[in-house]
């Protein structure tokens, strides 16, 4: 509730109370005034009644005086003519009775009017005249007295006086007669008397009604007998009538006043509510404005914008406080100086930009107090006065950090984040410019050898260090006009501008390979990697960037095929071989889908008795055009394309199914690829193959190349342990050709090892190879591992291996690889 409403609600009862008091005072005053008026009317009526009665009594006394005088004037008491005069006088004065009393109370003579002549009024009246007669007689000869009497509803006015006797001497000696003059006022006469004096319905009130004043008015007078005679009349109630006329007016006025006050109060309430709403809206608006101002101040303080204003000559006349904080200049240092002296535009002059009233912000730069160059975005509006431009005002937004960030983004979009070298986008832009100008170019595609094991064994931090170091070494081998880019992973591209001489390029390749093979120290360890290089020339090999890259990649692939750590120039026949390889990949995919793959088994014999104890599964491709192809024709391709995973799973399932039909003491060996370790769940594949074939796990031997252990050291150990838990046998293949074979034998759960055929082939001609073979056999016996010699091609080799205590042998000299049916027959006969 608002303050005004509270005040109104508190004051409204007070106003109503004041109105009630005023109305009560007015009503009381009017009532008192009307009561006073009514009393005055009654008092005046009393006066009129008394005056009317007094006037009749005065007339009565005058008549009495006339009778007394007439009686005293007579000198001949014996003459009847003397008595004629009172009669005439009586009838002329229109009184109702004249009675003459002697010295006693007896009446001696009476004159009466027609009204009382035949009634007993005089008899009844005589009784009440005693007091009047006694009073008159006590008064002496000159005494004249009178009074009123009441007979029923008739008012009697009486006057009495003493008459002198005829004999003056006797008068002095004794009292004479007493005259009583009567005036009767019956109800009609009394009513007429009242009308004469303005009294309505003047009448006598009956006995017992008391002498109090009634609502119509009344007056009590004492008669001659000491009783009360009460007069009544209809007194006009002027006050009551006035009150009746005023009360509706006063009441209506009070009601109208109440309604008026109610309307005023209602309007005041509404007005107060509107005022409160306006006040609330104003409060909210003020709070919003204050919040907006605070928000603007906060933003203005937090932002790097500063405000400026110039006159018509572009001289600075105002600089905001933010200017001093951003530039660290004092505003007074620049006030009065031209705006374009402080700011320098990148594209056009500030004066021209302001005059054109461009709404597009202008990018400018300036030097702060420390001499550092900063960049801002200028926005302006003209100051108009009387239709003319009186100057300009606007903002300067510091965008130095934004520009730096944008520059950084642009740099990252064109450069490798790790090495800082140009990336593929930058390379294409560089090549587009050079090839468009028909410049001779030599593109070198370089790929690091043995880089992945560095990441896997030492972590990505070591790998990042190798890449960064290689970037520096490649840059040190090039000129400023050349370009070194990193396309991703361990693949680098070098573009040599203006070089087409094969000798110069080969000299650079020698230097590059030498630099790459230098050790890199990481946490006290020496890291060694190598590099393979493919070279393409423009415009000889290609004139477009993508084609030139493709040619360099083909040459790189050829360098890897030729033994790595070397370089190859692109030749058209390389492309042909690549096309053939792609066709071979398509054929291989089709062959796997069409069931053209088959298995042959290379039997393994125990030298003691030459019994078959197992066989190695060898995959073959029954090519429809080229005939039976061995693994050398497609295994590498399968590993590169990822086909080795489904192919290896097929070999595993097929070998287990075939071995399940062999005697229980003969096992089957399956070779595993490094790609299978990376891309498939070997444990699940092996378990499913054993279960579906119904083959005991102890009859399955998995041959693992040392390269798998080198490339997948951490993951390989976990996988081998998981396979070992299934109960299969694990054998290290090509033992003796790797780097850390002895360490592997100590760390990994192998059951046996196979001596590489390279040692067997040279055993008869090389004493060192024979020593190595004997050492391997002795090591295996010490570690309780089974030793198998593969690649036995001659009888002499077989005899020497028997003498060297090599327990198991296999090779073409003993038995050629056999298909499934032949192998099944062979194991039944010789197993």
Q: What is the pLDDT of residue 6?
A: 64
Least Cα distance to 100 among 165, 174, 55, 171 occurs for: 165
* pLDDT, mean of residues 585-609: 90
Q: What is the pLDDT of residue 79?
A: 40
- Whether 700 and 659 have beta carbons less than 8 Å apart is answered as yes
pLDDT per residue as tens digits for the range 294-327? 665 566 555 558 899 999 899 999 998 888 888 8
* pLDDT, mean of residues 593-601: 92
φ, ψ at 696 (rounded to 5°): -65, 140
* pLDDT, mean of residues 600-625: 92
Among the ranges given (45-54, 401-410, 639-648, 695-704), the one the predictor scored with the smallest mean pLDDT: 45-54
**In whole angstroms, what is the distance from residue 745 CA to residue 752 CA?**
9
Q: What is the pLDDT of residue 115?
A: 60
pLDDT per residue as tens digits for the range 540-572? 888 899 999 999 999 998 898 888 889 999 888
3-state SS track over 317-383: EEECHHHHHHHCCCHHHCCCCEHHHHCEECCCCHHHHHHCCCCCCEEEEEECCCCCEEEEEEEEEEE
Q: What is the pLDDT of residue 190?
A: 81
Q: What is the pLDDT of residue 259?
A: 78
Q: What is the pLDDT of residue 108?
A: 56
Q: How confident is the model at residue 212 (pLDDT cuts 50, 70, 90)?
A: very low
pLDDT per residue as tens digits for the range 60-82? 777 777 777 766 655 444 443 44
Residue 591 CB contacts under 8 Å (≥ 6 apart), including other chains: 597, 621, 622, 623
Q: How confident is the model at residue 88 (pLDDT cuts 50, 70, 90)?
A: low
Query: What residues does 670 pair with on adjacent strands?
Result: 702
**In whole angstroms, what is the distance from residue 268 CA to residue 274 CA?**
10
Q: What is the pLDDT of residue 10?
A: 65
Q: What is the pLDDT of residue 203?
A: 83
> Does residue 89 carry a pLDDT above 90?
no
**In whole angstroms, what is the distance from residue 728 CA to residue 702 CA?**
7
> Does residue 509 carry a pLDDT above 50?
yes
Q: What is the pLDDT of residue 674?
A: 82
Dig out the tokens for 372 from the structure: 């550092």
Least Cα distance to 141 among 177, 106, 98 occurs for: 177
Q: Which CATH class is domain 417-570?
A: alpha beta
The more confidently predicted of residues 117 and 733 is 733
Q: What is the pLDDT of residue 495?
A: 94
Q: How confident is the model at residue 745 (pLDDT cuts 50, 70, 90)?
A: confident
Least Cα distance to 175 among 162, 188, 159 occurs for: 162
Share of residues in the chain with pLDDT > 90 (%): 27
Q: Which CATH class is domain 585-830?
A: alpha beta
pTM of full prediction above 0.85: no
Query: What residues does 150 pair with on adjacent strands?
Result: 155
φ, ψ at 290 (rounded to 5°): -65, -45
Q: What is the pLDDT of residue 107?
A: 59
pLDDT per residue as tens digits for the range 651-710? 999 999 999 999 999 999 999 988 888 777 889 999 999 999 999 999 999 998 877 776
User: In terms of C-beta distances under 8 Å and separation of at least 24 residues, what long-range contacts does 514-518 make, across chains too?
Assistant: 515/473, 515/474, 515/476, 515/477, 516/446, 516/448, 516/470, 516/473, 517/565, 518/473
pLDDT per residue as tens digits for the range 358-405? 778 889 999 888 888 999 888 989 998 888 888 999 989 888 888 888
> Does residue 171 carry a pLDDT above 80?
no
How large is the C-alpha radius of gyration of the chain?
77
The more confidently predicted of residues 641 and 296 is 641
φ, ψ at 496 (rounded to 5°): -100, 115
Among the ranges given (5-9, 173-177, 749-753, 826-830), the one the predictor scored with the smallest mean pLDDT: 173-177
**In whole angstroms, what is the distance from residue 162 CA to residue 147 CA?**
16
Q: What is the pLDDT of residue 586?
A: 87
Q: Map residue 103 onto helix, strand or coil.
A: coil
φ, ψ at 228 (rounded to 5°): -95, 135
Q: What is the pLDDT of residue 661?
A: 93
Among the ranges given (229-238, 285-294, 609-618), the one the predictor scored with the smallest mean pLDDT: 285-294
Q: What is the pLDDT of residue 5?
A: 57
Give start-end residues of each CATH 3.20.20.450 domain in the chain: 585-830
Q: How confident is the model at residue 211 (pLDDT cuts 50, 70, 90)?
A: very low
Residue indicated by tokens 């605070």: 294
Q: How confident is the model at residue 642 (pLDDT cuts 50, 70, 90)?
A: confident
What is 303-403's CATH topology?
Answer: Beta-Lactamase (3.30.450)
- Whether 327 and 307 have beta carbons less than 8 Å apart is answered as no
Average pLDDT, the chain: 81
Give start-end residues of each CATH 3.30.70.270 domain in the chain: 417-570
> Does residue 208 carry a pLDDT above 70?
no
Among the ranges given (19-28, 338-347, 449-458, 657-666), the one the predictor scored with the smallest mean pLDDT: 19-28
């Amino acid at each position: 509730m608002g303050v005004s409403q509270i005040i109104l609600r508190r004051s409204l009862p007070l106003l109503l109370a004041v109105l009630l008091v005023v109305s009560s005072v007015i009503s009381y005053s009017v009532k008192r005034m009307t009561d006073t008026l009514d009393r005055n009317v009654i008092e005046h009526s009393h006066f009129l009644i008394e005056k009317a009665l007094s006037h009749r009594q005065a007339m009565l006394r005058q008549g009495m005086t006339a009778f007394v005088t007439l009686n005293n004037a007579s000198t001949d008491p014996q003459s009847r003519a003397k008595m004629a005069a009172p009669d005439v006088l009586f009838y002329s004065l229109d009184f109702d009775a004249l009675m003459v009393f002697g010295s006693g109370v007896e009446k001696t003579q009476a004159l009466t009017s027609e009204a009382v002549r035949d009634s007993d009024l005089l008899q009844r009246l005589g009784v009440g005249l005693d007091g009047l007669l006694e009073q008159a007689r006590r008064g002496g000869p000159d005494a004249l007295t009178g009074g009123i009497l009441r007979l029923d509803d008739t008012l009697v006015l009486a006057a009495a006086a003493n008459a002198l006797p005829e004999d003056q001497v006797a008068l002095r000696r004794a009292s004479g007669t007493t005259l009583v003059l009567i005036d009767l006022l019956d109800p009609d006469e009394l009513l007429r008397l009242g009308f004469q004096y303005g009294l309505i319905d003047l009448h006598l009130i009956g006995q017992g009604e008391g002498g109090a004043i009634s609502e119509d008015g009344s007056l009590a007078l004492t008669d001659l007998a000491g009783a009360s005679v009460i007069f009544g009349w209809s007194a006009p109630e002027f006050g009551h009538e006035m009150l009746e006329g005023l009360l509706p007016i006063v009441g209506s006025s009070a009601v109208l006043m109440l309604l008026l006050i109610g309307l005023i109060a209602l309007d005041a309430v509404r007005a107060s509510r509107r005022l409160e709403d306006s006040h609330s809206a104003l409060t909210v608006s003020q709070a919003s404005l204050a919040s907006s101002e605070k928000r603007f101040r906060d933003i203005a303080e937090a932002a790097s914008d500063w405000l400026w204003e110039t006159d018509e000559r572009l001289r600075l006349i105002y600089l905001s406080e933010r200017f001093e904080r951003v530039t660290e200049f004092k505003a007074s240092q620049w006030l009065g100086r031209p705006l374009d002296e402080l700011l320098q535009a990148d594209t056009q002059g500030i004066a021209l930009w302001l005059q054109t009233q461009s709404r597009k912000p202008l990018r400018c730069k300036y030097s702060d107090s420390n001499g550092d160059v900063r960049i801002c975005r200028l926005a302006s509006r003209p100051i108009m006065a009387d239709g003319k431009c009186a100057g300009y005002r606007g903002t300067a937004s510091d965008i130095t950090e934004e520009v730096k960030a944008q520059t950084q983004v642009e740099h990252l979009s064109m450069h490798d984040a790790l090495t800082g070298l140009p990336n593929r986008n930058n390379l294409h832009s560089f090549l587009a410019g050079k090839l468009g100008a028909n410049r001779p170019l030599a593109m070198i595609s370089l790929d690091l050898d043995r880089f992945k094991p560095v990441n896997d064994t030492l972590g990505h931090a070591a790998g990042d260090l190798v890449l960064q170091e290689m970037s520096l070494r490649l840059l040190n081998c090039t000129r400023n006009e050349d370009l070194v880019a990193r396309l991703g992973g361990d693949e680098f591209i070098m573009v040599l501008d203006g070089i087409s001489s094969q000798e110069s390029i080969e000299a650079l390749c020698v230097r590059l390979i030498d630099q790459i093979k230098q050790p890199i120290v990481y946490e006290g360890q020496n890291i060694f990697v190598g590099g393979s290089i493919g070279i393409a020339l423009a415009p000889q090999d290609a004139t477009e960037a993508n084609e030139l890259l493709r040619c360099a990649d083909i040459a790189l692939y050829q360098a890897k095929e030729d033994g790595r750590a070397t370089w190859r120039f692109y030749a058209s026949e390389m492309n042909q071989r690549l096309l053939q390889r792609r066709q071979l990949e398509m054929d291989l995919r089709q062959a796997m889908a069409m069931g053209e793959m088959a298995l042959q088994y290379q039997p393994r014999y125990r030298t003691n008795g030459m019994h078959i104890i197992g066989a190695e599964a060898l995959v073959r491709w029954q090519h429809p055009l080229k005939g039976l192809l061995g693994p050398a024709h497609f295994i590498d391709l399968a590993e590169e394309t990822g086909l080795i995973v489904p192919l290896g799973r097929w070999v595993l399932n097929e070998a287990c199914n075939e071995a399940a039909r062999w005697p229980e003491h003969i096992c089957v060996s399956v070779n595993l690829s490094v790609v299978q370790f990376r891309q498939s769940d070997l444990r699940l594949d092996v378990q499913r193959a054993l279960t579906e074939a119904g083959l005991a796990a102890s009859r399955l031997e998995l041959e693992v190349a040392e390269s798998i252990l080198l490339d997948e050291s951490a993951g390989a150990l976990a996988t081998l342990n998981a396979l070992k838990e299934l109960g299969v046998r694990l054998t290290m293949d090509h033992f003796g050709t790797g780097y850390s074979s002895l360490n592997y034998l100590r760390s990994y759960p192998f059951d046996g090892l196979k001596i590489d055929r390279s040692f067997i082939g040279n055993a008869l001609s090389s004493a060192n190879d024979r020593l190595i073979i004997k050492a391997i056999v002795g090591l295996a016996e010490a570690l309780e591992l089974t030793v198998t010699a593969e690649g036995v091609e001659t009888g002499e080799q077989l005899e020497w291996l028997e003498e060297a205590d090599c327990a198991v042998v296999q090779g073409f000299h003993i038995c050629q690889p056999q298909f499934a049916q032949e192998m099944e027959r062979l194991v039944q006969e010789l197993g």
